[in-house]
Amino acid sequence: MTTDDGQPNHNAFRHSPTGPRVAPRPRPDRPAVQPPRQAHVTDGSPPRFPWRRLASAIFIVAILLSAGIRAYRDMSRPDAWSFWKDQYVSSSLSSALVANTAINGDHAVLAVRGEIGPAAAIWLRERLDEAHLKPGDVVLLSSPGGNLDQGVLMGEIIRARGLSTAVGAVDKSGRIRPASCASACVFTFAGGQTRYGLDGSALGVHRFTSAARGDDAVADTQRVTGAILGYVTRMGISPQVIEAMSQTRDIRWLEPNEAEAMKLVTTPIKAL
């Protein structure tokens, strides 16, 4: 619609075809302004406590404490430090791989010497893995003895791999010389599938002692004796070796014919 002067009249009403006149919608001269966002209004309740984070922290602390307690208990045992020292700091045993020996033809020889410590079995298994010994190869022993349990475990490892044993040491020129194997070393030697007796080398046995006291000492002695008897029997050795052990607390050096009669030595070698 227009006014009398011919100009459009924006304030005028327009006629609706279906009803009364209605006012036209105003046209905005500028873009509509977005209303400001309302701030988050709380209901006045206190903030939630982070229980999940607290539970996770408690769980982690509990794990650390449990590990620390176990480590403390392990290290508080009388032999714990000796075990860790023997395994990680300085082993009481040493080894050398020897080639071109006359002990068993072309088979390799791993010379092991030193005292049998509380981690000796783990040490021997690692050295055998590094040397890649195969069945028939020889573990050459030179040791005054040491830990009885470890000596037996070393013998078990040697037997499980089908290795042979001999008593001797390697000199600076690489030649094998006679040596001695006593106490716990004898049980390591017993693990050999074939047990060579080198001329001049010696095997020594003695009565083992128990750290227990009173009735516990008697029970412990019986237990160890039964275990040792079962071990030597499985290795094909006569129980006479147990009798020889029980006769003295001092080292008893077996004569070559004694060692052969006990089946401790299966293959004597007169000279290399």
pLDDT digits (tens, 9 = 90+) for 186-203: 999 999 999 999 999 999
> Cβ of 20: how many Cβ atoms within 10 Å?
7
Per the DSSP assignment, residues forming a β-bridge with 180 are: 202
Q: Give the three-state DSSP class for 26.
A: coil
Q: What is the 3-state secondary structure (H, E, C) of 90-133?
A: CCCEEEEEECCCCCCCCCCEEEEEECECCCHHHHHHHHHHHHCC
Backbone phi, psi, residue 68, to 5°: -65, -40
The type of residue at 132 is H
Residue 36 — pLDDT band, cuts 50, 70, 90?
low
Which of 115-124, 162-171, 222-231 has the weakest average pLDDT? 222-231
Task: Find the distance separating the first CA and the last CA of the chain, reported in whole Å.
Answer: 132
State the pLDDT at residue 9: 52
Separation between Cα atoms, residue 121 and residue 126, nearest integer Å:
9
What is the pLDDT of the chain when averaged over all its residues? Answer: 80
- Give the residue carrying structure tokens 């050096």: 253
Separation between Cα atoms, residue 12 and residue 65, nearest integer Å:
86
Q: Look up residue 235 and give its two tokens.
A: 């290795």
Separation between Cα atoms, residue 152 and residue 182, nearest integer Å:
13
Is 86:117 a contact under the CB 8 Å cutoff? yes
Predicted confidence (pLDDT) per residue in 62-118, tens digit: 776 665 555 445 545 556 656 556 666 668 899 999 876 667 667 899 999 999 999
Separation between Cα atoms, residue 88 and residue 154, nearest integer Å:
18
**Number of residues that this document lists for the chain:** 272
Q: Look up residue 133 and give its two tokens.
A: 């010994």
Query: Hey, which of 169-173, 174-178, 198-202 has the most confident mean pLDDT?
Result: 198-202
Which of 214, 207, 242, 205 minimizes the C-alpha distance to 226? Answer: 242
Taking only Cα atoms into account, the Rg of the chain, rounded to an integer number of angstroms, comes to: 43
Q: Distance of CA 216 to CAs 125, 212, 219, 230, 242, Å? A: 33, 6, 5, 21, 21
Q: Give the three-state DSSP class for 184.
A: helix
β-bridge pairing 195-198 and 176-177 = unpaired
More confident residue, 36 or 164: 164
> Cβ of 253: how many Cβ atoms within 10 Å?
13
CA 271 to chain centre: 41
Separation between Cα atoms, residue 181 and residue 228, nearest integer Å:
17
Q: Look up residue 81 and give its two tokens.
A: 């430090």
